[in-house]
């Protein structure tokens, strides 16, 4: 979908922190799309990313649209670095209303007998531990804010097995971590929800998915289209904003229906047969 043009200022004067806010190359990944959309809706953004140049490109995109953001570089897989970056971001923002844990990477995909210990650890660090470290550092500020919302970007790999080593288990744990946050801090007004993107075309995906793979991804989904980063950003905006005041502990698939379709129906689609029985 094209970049959303209309802005309703539903996050006016809110303060948001987005991890993994940069994107590969010149394209728009989920972290960049979420940051830009939140800024268009009136939020001030703290952008956390290890790659300063990529995060700075997101900051520039926000500034071009009249928004305000600042980059805070950090390796969020390191607890002390994560805590320091969050503290700096909170000092600049003056508080926090929304936290989006977007950092993640498809790491640790080898079979178990082939997987190095470092690959397993990296998969957990990038896709689970970073979110835990950042949330822990930000929780007090979130509970004192007006939005009191956490949105964790998981994956359909956390809902359905894909035969990979570390990525799916880490994303499944992130979804459960989201539920634990919802129950743990719900009495204090905090809402925590997760998004499970699936078959989303981002600059990172374009690096390893050729035309044949993209066509398979498209045909297997009931909607028979590819999603993009803006689809994920729109879902994140809804879950973060006031319209979702009575939603917590949920995991919303943004996947064109991939997690809804039965295996035989998906097979028939790829085989060119009727998808209805």
Measured in degrees and rounded to the nearest 5, phi and psi for residue 230 equal: -65, -30
Instruction: Given the residues 8, 167, 185, 267, select the one marked as catalytic.
Output: 167
Q: Report d(CA 173, CA 271) in Å as an integer.
A: 34
Four-residue CA torsion sign, 114, 119, 124, 127: negative
Q: Residue 185 catalytic? A: no
CA atoms within 13 A on the CB side of 147: 30
**DSSP category for residue 253:** E
Q: Rounded CA gap, 129 and 110, in Å?
A: 20
Measured in degrees and rounded to the nearest 5, phi and psi for residue 31 equal -65, -40
Q: SS3 for 160-191, per residue?
A: CCCCCCCHHHHHHHHHHHHHHHHHHHHHHCCE
Tell me, what DSSP letter sits at residue 44?
A: E
Q: For residue 30, which of 160, 198, 219 has the smallest C-alpha distance?
A: 198
* Contacts within 8 Å (CB) and 24+ apart, 115-118: 115/165, 115/166
Active site (catalytic) residues: 167
């Amino acid at each position: 979908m094209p970049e959303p043009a209309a802005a309703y200022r539903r996050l006016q004067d809110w303060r948001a922190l987005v991890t993994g806010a940069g994107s590969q190359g010149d394209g728009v990944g989920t972290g960049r799309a979420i940051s830009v959309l939140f800024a268009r809706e009136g939020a001030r953004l703290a952008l956390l990313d290890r790659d300063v140049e990529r995060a700075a490109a997101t900051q520039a995109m926000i500034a071009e649209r009249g928004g305000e953001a600042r980059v805070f570089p950090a390796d969020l897989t390191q607890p002390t670095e994560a805590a320091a970056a969050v503290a700096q971001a909170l000092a600049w923002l003056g508080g926090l209303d929304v936290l989006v844990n977007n950092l993640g990477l498809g790491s640790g995909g080898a079979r178990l007998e082939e997987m190095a210990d470092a690959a397993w650890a990296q998969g957990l660090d990038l896709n689970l531990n970073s979110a835990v470290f950042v949330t822990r550092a930000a929780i007090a500020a979130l509970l004192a804010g007006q939005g009191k919302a956490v949105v964790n970007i998981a994956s359909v790999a956390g809902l359905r097995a894909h035969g990979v080593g570390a990525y799916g288990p880490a994303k499944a744990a992130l979804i459960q971590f989201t539920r634990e946050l919802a129950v743990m801090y719900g009495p204090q007004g905090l809402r925590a929800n997760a998004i499970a993107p699936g078959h989303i075309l981002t600059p990172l995906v374009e690096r390893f998915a050729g035309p044949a793979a993209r066509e398979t991804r498209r045909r297997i989904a009931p909607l028979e289209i590819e999603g993009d980063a803006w689809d994920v950003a729109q879902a994140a905006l809804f879950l973060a904003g006031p319209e979702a005041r009575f939603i917590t502990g949920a995991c919303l698939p943004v996947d064109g229906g991939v997690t809804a379709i039965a295996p035989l129906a998906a097979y028939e689609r790829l085989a060119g047969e009727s998808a209805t029985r």
